[in-house]
Amino acid sequence: MYTGNLLGFGLAVSSSAFIGSSFIIKKKGLQRAGACGTRARSGGYGYLLEPLWWIGMLTMVVGEFANFIAYIYAPAVLVTPLGALSIIVSAVLAHLLLNEKLRRLGILGCVLCIVGSTVIVLHAPGEHSIGSVEEIWDLATQPAFLLYTASAIAVVLVLVLYCEPRYGQTNMMVYIGVCSINGSLTVMSVKAIGIAIKLTLEGSSQVARYQTWIFVMVAVTCIITQLNYLNKALDTFNTAVVSPIYYAMFTSFTILASAIMFKDWSGQSVSTIISVLCGFMTVLSGTMILHGTREPDPQPVSDMYASLSPQISWIVHANGEIWKHKDNEESCPEVVAIIQPDHFK
């Protein structure tokens, strides 16, 4: 194993521990904020005043910083899949702190994540040597990666402008899709920034080069978008479901983007590539098992009846029958009670 890969591995593992914990801390903060104000999934930003959410945010920042340094020394194909370890941390803490039960098959999923991560670490390619930010810019502006970037932006716009208003509250793939696709572009930009910082510290300043600041602007934009939609996903759906699905999609898009931009597989043998892909599929299987064995969040009573029309009530007759009743209709004498949708809010 290369020295850079070993350092990147250690940083990635530490990062996973912090990030996995941050999911749970932020979820607790979102729950507290939602108890006394508009929830994040409804467009509220009350969580910004919740100290626990900020603790979770700080924990995530520490984890992301460690992840940022890891990308400087190791290729994305090694660092990104190790995010599976954060899934294990979040699943265990969700079991202990959020009463989201972790079943026996879930434990098997955790084991598969660890085994798959080990295979990836043992067969990951080494990092390519890059001497300036211009080299990264040339990689980012090659036709293949420009096509990927244009496709990613188009899909994100469709998800945000068309799918979110219609399916955001019922289908987690809308929020997670935005996070994952943006995440792949974030990783590419962050890796470019990290290399620029590394070269600057080594004496070859990259600060004055305009390409560096373009990568910074892209990274900031994508990170803000990710955080916004990740908050919505966490506040709307079960943490133990969001984490593995987000990991699987984010890792897949990042590996694809890295393979296109940095040509990670260049010079690697077929057996090495197959081993890494098998390791990733093992990790992906583990995350799917975790997803399939966790209980969904119970739907709030108010949400269950929110779709009822305010013009229709439910009348209870003396014989036990329940009929729909429109506001402009007269009630029968034997009516025992009239239940309107507002009763459940």
- Give tens-digit pLDDT for 69-80: 888 888 888 888
Tell me which residue of 87, 80, 146 sits closest to 279, measured CA to CA.
80
Q: Give the pLDDT of residue 138.
A: 92
Tell me which residue of 230, 276, 243, 283 sits closest to 74, measured CA to CA.
276
Per-residue pLDDT band for 291 (boundaries 50, 70, 90) equals low
Order of strands across the sheet that contains 335-339: 322-326, 312-317, 335-339
Helix (H, G, I), strand (E, B) or coil at 325: strand
> pTM for this structure?
0.68
Q: Give the pLDDT of residue 154.
A: 96
Q: Give the pLDDT of residue 335.
A: 45
Structure tokens at 142: 């090659």
Give CA–CA dist 341/313, Å, rounded.
7
> H helices of 36-171, where?
51-73, 76-79, 84-97, 104-123, 133-140, 143-158, 164-167
pLDDT tens, position by position, 92-141: 888 888 777 777 888 888 888 888 888 887 887 766 778 888 889 999 99
pLDDT tens, position by position, 13-59: 999 889 888 888 888 877 777 777 666 566 666 767 778 878 888 99
Residue with tokens 């929830």: 39
